[in-house]
Amino acid sequence: MTIQEKCNYIKEFVPSVWSGHSKFADWLMRYKNPSVMVDLGVDSGCSTFSFAVCGIGTVYGIDWFRGDPNTGYRDEKTKIEVMKHINVLDLFNVNIMHMSFDDALRDWTLPIDILHIDGYHAYDAVSHDYREWTKFLKPNGVVLLHDTCTEWLSVKEWFHEIQEPKLNFTNSYGLGVVSKDIELLQTIRNNFAPLMDSRY
C-alpha cells in the first residue's frame, strides 16, 4: 500500500474530527524527522496513524481505551479496531501502549521530539498532562494540543495560559502548536497561513 493509499484508507475507515490535521501531521513528521513521537489519546486511531503513515521514527500511542466524559465511554472493541487498522496499514513504527497516561509516565525515560495531547479535556487533566509530559520534551521539541478552538472544553483556556512561543490552527476544532523552535513556527505560518489564528 502506498502512502497515498494509506491516507485514503485512514480517511475512509477511520473518520474523525481530527482528520483535518492529517496533512499537517505528515508535514511536521517530515520536517522534524523525529525519533520519538508520543500521541496521548489514540481513541479510534486517526491522529496516531496520521503521524505514523510516513514511516519516520516511532509513534507511541498511549490510551486506556475506556473513553471519558467528553468523548463517551468505550470498550475493548476500540483497541481491537485500532490494532486491525495498524495491521492493514502495515504501520511498523507504531507502539500502542494500553494504559493510562500516568501509568505510562512511571517508567518513561525517552526524550520526546513531538508530543500530541488529546486526552481528557478538563482543565486539571490537560494542564497535568502538559506539565508532566513536557518534562521529557527535547529543547526544540513540539507540543500539539487538540481542541483549542472549542468553547465548551478547557484546552482553549490552558493553551491561552501557556507562555512559550506558540501558534494555533483554527480548523477541525483547533490544534495548538507550542515550541521554542522559532524557525519551525515561522515555517508553519508560511506554509499554513489560511488556517492560522492571527492572535498568535
Q: What is the pLDDT of residues 36-53, one digit of tens each?
A: 999 999 988 899 999 999
Span of 43-57, 64-78, 158-172 with lowest mean pLDDT: 64-78
| Per-domain boundaries in the chain | 3-195
The answer as to CATH 3.20.20.150 being correct for domain 3-195 is no
pLDDT at 200 over 90: no
Helices (H), the chain: 3-13, 22-32, 46-52, 76-89, 101-106, 123-133, 155-161, 182-191
Cα angle value 123/173/30 (rounded, 5°): 100
Task: Look over the chain and give the mean of its residue pLDDT values, rounded to a whole number.
Answer: 91
- Other beta carbons within 10 angstroms of residue 154's beta carbon come to 18
Amino acid identity at 125: A
What's the predicted TM-score (pTM) here?
A: 0.94
Amino acid identity at 71: T
Of 28, 58, 17, 15, residue with least CA distance to 144: 28
| Interval 15-37: pLDDT, tens | 888 999 999 999 999 999 999 99
Region 133-146: what's the mean pLDDT? Answer: 97
* Residue 191, CA distances (Å) to 9, 31, 109, 127, 188 in order: 25, 12, 33, 29, 5
Span of 63-77, 129-143, 146-160 with lowest mean pLDDT: 63-77
Is the distance from CB of 118 to CB of 39 less than 8 angstroms? yes
